[in-house]
């Protein structure tokens, strides 16, 4: 390992335990922290890497030349993004922060019933919120640029296009002034029509896969002509063997940032011989940050029936009433919990669904359990934390097939 770091020109601090008076105590502390009983015990940038073998695996990736192209065509108003893609700039991060702002507004309404008294009218300042969010996003953009620089990754704020199989051209695109668009619209609720001229039209109906201007046709990479998505095999390999794709452009895969990050890490390790592990696209937890959050992991009930057949499944479900909603006087039959179990496999949980407060936080914890093979019996054997929303999964008794009533009359 010393020779490896030396050959890579990496500075490292070495602590020889057998030369320390308290070496045994240090070794015990390292074992407690890392759960690794052997030496060498290696840390890179304060992160535990592992022993000798693991370090050589990770080193297989070191020294590879990496270029990141990240360019977003400015809006007609000249607005563009910083480094970080959809998630950081217009997706996960601003979405969750605005969701929190909405929750605080609801909490203000509930607070009076919990004894909080205030006479002044509470108003919301949109400009204050957006400025705070943009400042936070800007700090993330900067931190990503620093991180790429520290890891020796070249970053170019430009658009990339394939010229041939092993050559990419980098077309700083020009910013042009917007033209005029005449919009004619008809109401869906009556006979009214309208006609106006605008310089920008926003169609909030989803996102396009921007793959048609990458020059993929020049090297033979196939895409779905309908949506621009790229079909790949289970190792993210396209129909052109030396071209791989990860992230939201993949056909039939979740459009989630953590999925893209995980797939990218595993792909890099496979390409350079450090691992053979593939990305698991099935047990992916996710959440929808609507005012009443929804979280899920695994299969929907419909997909589970398609894959495993209805007779091989048992669905447990219930409505529940969060304690914090009781005094606030909110509906006692709005929140919902459901698990889908595969009966032939010891009632293994193959689908997890929750609609309620903090659904994202709850789902993240249960997702780890599902990766470990969570079963209905293990849930029943788990002691719940009372009173929480998550504990409802430790007391599920009613099956859908029974047809029994799942409405709630109070809080246990």
Distance, in Å, from the CA atom of 136 to the CA atom of 100, rounded to the nearest integer, reads: 14
Residue 342 among the catalytic residues = no
Question: Of 55, 83, 81, which Cα lies nearest the Cα of 69?
Answer: 83
Is residue 374 within 8 A of residue 339, CB to CB? The reply is no
Distance, in Å, from the CA atom of 39 to the CA atom of 54, rounded to the nearest integer, reads: 12
Is residue 296 within 8 A of residue 351, CB to CB? The reply is yes
**Chain center to CA of 113:** 36
* Helix, strand, coil share (%) of the chain residues, nearest 5: 35, 15, 45
Distance, in Å, from the CA atom of 20 to the CA atom of 15, rounded to the nearest integer, reads: 8
Between the CA atoms of 207, 230, 260 and 390, what dihedral angle is there, to the nearest 10 degrees? 70
Question: Of 323, 345, 343, 344, which Cα lies nearest the Cα of 335?
Answer: 323
| Residue 316 β-bridge partners | 339, 399
Question: Residues with Cβ < 8 Å from 220, sequence gap 6 or more?
Answer: 239, 240
Distance, in Å, from the CA atom of 13 to the CA atom of 31, rounded to the nearest integer, reads: 19
| Residue 181 β-bridge partners | 198
Place of tokens 């073998």: 53
Question: Residues with Cβ < 8 Å from 120, sequence gap 6 or more?
Answer: none
| Residue 156 β-bridge partners | 69
Candidate list 48, 99, 166, 386, residue with the active-site label: 386
> Which residues are known to be catalytic?
386
């Amino acid at each position: 390992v010393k020779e490896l770091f030396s050959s890579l020109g990496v500075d490292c601090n070495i602590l020889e335990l057998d030369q320390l008076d308290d070496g045994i105590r240090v070794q015990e502390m390292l074992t407690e922290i890392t759960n690794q009983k052997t030496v060498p015990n290696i840390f890179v940038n304060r992160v535990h890497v592992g022993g000798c073998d693991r370090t050589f695996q990770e080193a297989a990736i070191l020294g590879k030349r990496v270029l990141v192209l990240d360019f977003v065509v400015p809006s007609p108003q000249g607005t563009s993004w910083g480094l970080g893609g959809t998630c950081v700039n217009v997706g996960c991060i601003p979405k969750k922060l605005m969701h929190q702002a909405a929750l605080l507004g609801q909490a203000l309404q509930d607070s009076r019933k919990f004894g909080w008294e205030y006479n002044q009218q509470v108003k919301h300042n949109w400009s204050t919120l957006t400025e705070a969010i943009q400042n936070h996003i800007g700090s993330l953009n900067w931190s990503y640029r620093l991180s790429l620089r520290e890891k020796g990754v070249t970053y170019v704020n430009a658009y990339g296009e394939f010229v041939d199989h092993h050559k990419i051209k980098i077309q700083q695109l020009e910013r042009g002034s917007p033209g005029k668009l005449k919009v004619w619209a008809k109401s869906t609720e009556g006979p009214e029509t309208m006609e106006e001229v605008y310089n920008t039209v926003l169609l909030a109906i989803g996102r396009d896969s921007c793959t048609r201007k990458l020059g993929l046709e020049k090297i033979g990479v196939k895409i779905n002509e309908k949506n621009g998505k790229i079909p790949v095999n289970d190792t993210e390999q396209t129909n052109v063997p030396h071209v791989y794709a990860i992230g939201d452009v993949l056909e039939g895969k979740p459009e989630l940032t953590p999925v893209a990050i995980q797939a990218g890490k595993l792909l890099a390790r496979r390409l350079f011989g450090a691992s053979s592990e593939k990305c698991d696209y099935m047990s992916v937890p996710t959440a929808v940050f609507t005012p009443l959050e929804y979280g899920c992991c695994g299969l929907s009930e419909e997909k589970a029936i398609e894959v495993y057949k209805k007779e091989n499944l048992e669905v447990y479900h219930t409505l529940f009433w969060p304690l914090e909603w009781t005094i606030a006087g909110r509906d006692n039959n709005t929140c919902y919990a459901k698990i889908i179990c595969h009966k032939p496999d010891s009632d293994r949980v193959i689908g997890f669904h929750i609609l309620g407060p903090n659904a994202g936080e709850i789902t993240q914890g249960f997702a780890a359990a599902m990766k470990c093979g969570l079963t209905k019996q293990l849930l029943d054997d788990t002691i719940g934390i009372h009173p929480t929303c998550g504990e409802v999964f430790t007391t599920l008794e009613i099956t859908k097939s029974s047809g029994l009533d799942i409405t709630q009359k109070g809080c246990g």
